[in-house]
Amino acid sequence: MWRNIVSNFLTLAIVVMIALGGLVAWAKRQYVEPGPLAQAMCLRVAPGANIRGVSSDLESAGAIRSAYIFRTGAQYQDKASQLKFGSYLIEPKSTMQGIVDQITAGGPSTCGTELVFRIGVSGNEVLLRELDPATGDYKKVAEYNPETEKAPEGFESKAEAADVRTRVTVVDGVTSWQIVQGLREAPFLSGDIAEVPAEGALAPDSYEVKRGADRQALIDMMIDRQAKILADAWAGRADGLPYDTPEQALTMASIVEKETGVPSERAQVASVFVNRLEKGMKLQTDPTVIYGVTGGKGMLGRGLRQSELRKATPYNTYVIDGLPPGPIANPGRAAIEAALHPDSTKYLFFVADGSGGHAFATTIAQHNKNVAAWRAIEKKAQENSSAN
């Protein structure tokens, strides 16, 4: 009898061990296989959060099938106590193991709230926005102009949360003086800037920074980035361009940047100025004259006077031959590429066409017709404005 009991016990033990082994294998598969999440989500791991709370949030959101397996897997990897606070974008079908690795690796938040200090041509803006995980687009939460407005109620408390990312965005065509002034206003940066960098030397772009980041270090990053962009573009430039140096190309790019805000027109505008240089014609571009008046310190805020168009200055391209002595703004990558890869056209003139773009012409007669059409559009707009 005892022999039968022992035999039955051993058989049962073996069955249990096999069952447990199968259960463990199943749990391991669950941990590493794609999860059930159908749509991206933003997971916020608060300071002081624990693996139990996070696993429960993930299970409730439908990102994982089992909070228990998630916790057990994290413990097995010795990562259960290594959570890093922040906001994490969890992609559809993410594995439990992948999520554990993501929320314990740390680094910048990949979703949630972002504080953006935007330096623009006509002024600066402070923007608080949140990423919509489903679409990948940002939705504006609040904004204000730091020069003329106070922060909206509750803005500061939201902006100063520990997991809010901070970013400085510099718009194409902003001058170096405007960038320096803007950075000095950014409340989440520290330190001063030694001097205003050379015009054109800074790369317009979006820069993610940490709170308390040094302003001069950010300026140095912008200089390095623009130098690389220009060097790469110069190395791959088209043949036969009327520029002897990368600096001259940068000057042309800055003119193109200021002359059009329509991306598809940049190479056409560049072709006009290249054609004029090759024919020995004056460039006759208003933005260079404006820069000579303002020195890049803000906008002119009015139309150019005839006396300013006639006055001889290094930047008055109605008077001087060829390019001005340097850039008139910080051009973006696209404008630099356009200056070094202009369209092949015979255009020598262009004027606004009322749609936000320009009408191009090869002859003065054709250009005069385009100018007359633009003047008619301006007159009608003025009449409508007066009537209202």
What would the pLDDT profile of 128-161 be if each residue is shown by its tens digit?
888 888 888 888 888 888 888 888 888 888 887 7
Q: Where residue 17 falls among pLDDT bands split at 50, 70, 90?
A: low
d(CA 263, CA 2): 90
CB hemisphere CA count around 52 (13 angstroms): 0
209, 189 in Cβ contact below 8 A?
Answer: yes
- Concatenate the DSSP letters of all residues of 164-182 into one string: -EEEEEE-TT--HHHHHHH
Q: What is the mean pLDDT of the chain?
A: 88
What is the predicted pLDDT for the residue at 278?
A: 96
For residue 218, which amino acid is it? L
Q: pLDDT exceeding 90 applies to what percent of the chain?
A: 50
Per the structure block, which two tokens stand in for 379? 């007159």
Nearest to residue 326, comparing CAs of 223, 180, 200? 200
| CA 135 from centre of chain | 17
What is the predicted pLDDT for the residue at 215?
A: 97
117, 168 in Cβ contact below 8 A?
Answer: yes
What is the predicted pLDDT for the residue at 362?
A: 96
What is the predicted pLDDT for the residue at 180?
A: 97
d(CA 215, CA 180): 9
What is the predicted pLDDT for the residue at 231?
A: 98
Per the structure block, which two tokens stand in for 345? 């056209």
> Which of 17-21, 177-181, 253-257 has the weakest average pLDDT?
17-21
| Domains, the chain, with CATH or none | 28-105 (3.30.1490.480), 113-230 (no CATH), 238-347 (no CATH)
Residue of 109 and 360 predicted with greater confidence: 360
What is the predicted pLDDT for the residue at 18?
A: 56
Mean pLDDT of 241-250: 96
What is the predicted pLDDT for the residue at 353?
A: 86
What is the predicted pLDDT for the residue at 345?
A: 95
| CA 59 from centre of chain | 34
> The tokens 């933005």 sit on which residue?
287
DSSP bridge pairs for 214: 190
What is the predicted pLDDT for the residue at 40?
A: 87
For residue 297, which amino acid is it? K
- pTM for this structure? 0.80
Mean pLDDT of 199-203: 97
Pairing of strands 213-214, 189-190: parallel
Q: Where residue 24 falls among pLDDT bands split at 50, 70, 90?
A: low
- Concatenate the DSSP letters of all residues of 98-112 into one string: HHHHHHHH--S-SSS
Residues 68, 72, 78: CA angle, nearest 5 degrees? 150
Mean pLDDT of 5-25: 53
Asked if the model's pLDDT at residue 20 lies above 80, the reply is: no
> The tokens 């730091």 sit on which residue?
146
